[in-house]
Amino acid sequence: MSTDHTPPGPSPAGQPGPYGAQGPYGAPQPGASAPYGAPPPAAPAPYGAPPPGAPAPYGVPQGATGFGRAMRSRNVFAVWLGLPIITLGIYHLVWWYKINKELSQYDSRIEVNPALSVLAVFPGCFIYVPMFITAYNTGKRVAQAQRAAGMAPTCSPAISCVLVLLLSAHALYLQSEINKINDHYGNPPEGTQIPHVA
């Protein structure tokens, strides 16, 4: 009867051996703390930021401070006269709701209730004051969005307010100023994630 006894040798990496599971030489066992001096695990990326190694969102510059959603470019004359005339003014209310919602989605720092903005237009137009207030405030929001894009703000809330008296030309003015923001980003599709630089 043979009395030879083969001593236990190393098991393949990750396979159970005589002394428990073994990993590759030098690798810490599962659940073990990282070796002294090793860098800590990377923290998860902030919400909306690309994960490490992933391509950057559309047009990301150095020093981006946040991200939002691209707004929609529209034909300014269709917004001002064409579609409101065809729809007996209904389009203007829909457009007013949409641009205020798009501004808040572009930059979450822009606080607005789109439904209240619409109520300031109608029936607020019958007592005039709410209409001027919402035109002024929306002009401020567009200027804020221009600053967030890294542009010099060209939208004037005062001009927006005055143009209410000129055949509601504030619609043409505000949409043209929003289109400038989209032009600045290269006209990405509506809803595309885009960066803020301020």
* pLDDT tens digits, one per residue of 21-46: 455 555 556 555 656 666 666 655 54
pLDDT digit string, tens, across residues 47-82: 455 555 555 444 455 567 889 999 999 999 999 999
Q: Which residues, listed in sequence order, are joined to residue 21 by a DSSP beta bridge?
A: 16
Cα angle 130-173-96, degrees, rounded to a multiple of 5: 45
Residue 191: CB partners within 8 Å, gap ≥ 6?
Answer: 69, 70
Give the span between the Cα atoms of 86 and 53, in whole angstroms. Answer: 50
* DSSP for residue 163: H
Helix runs in the chain, H state only: 76-77, 83-86, 90-106, 114-121, 129-148, 157-163, 170-184
pLDDT, tens digit, 9 for 90 and up, residues 89-111: 999 999 999 999 999 999 999 99
